[in-house]
Amino acid sequence: MEGISLSHKDQSSSPPVMPWREFADWIRMGDRHDVVWGWIRNGYIPHEKVGKHVLVNVALFTS
């Protein structure tokens, strides 16, 4: 996640949680979904599983 910079505008307009693929696009890693999934699987990104969906806790991630 080095080199990824999110502006304050990007952070303030984010929802508290979002699907992990949308999160990957949001942090401009849309072409590397496999890397983002690895971060989630290894616990580097806070997430919750709701049914079969994996949601990234953006509020906790940005704090």
Query: Which three-class secondary structure string do you get for the chain?
Result: CCCCCCCHHHHHCCCCEEEHHHHHHHCCCHHHHHHHHHHHHCCCCCEEEECCEEEEEHHHHHC
pLDDT at position 2 over 80: no
- pLDDT tens per residue, range 20-53: 999 999 999 989 999 999 999 999 999 999 999 9
pLDDT at position 7 over 90: no
pLDDT at position 10 over 70: no
pLDDT at position 14 over 80: no
Q: Give 48's strand partners.
A: 55
pLDDT recorded at residue 15? 83
Residue pair 39/45 in contact (Cβ under 8 Å)? The answer is yes
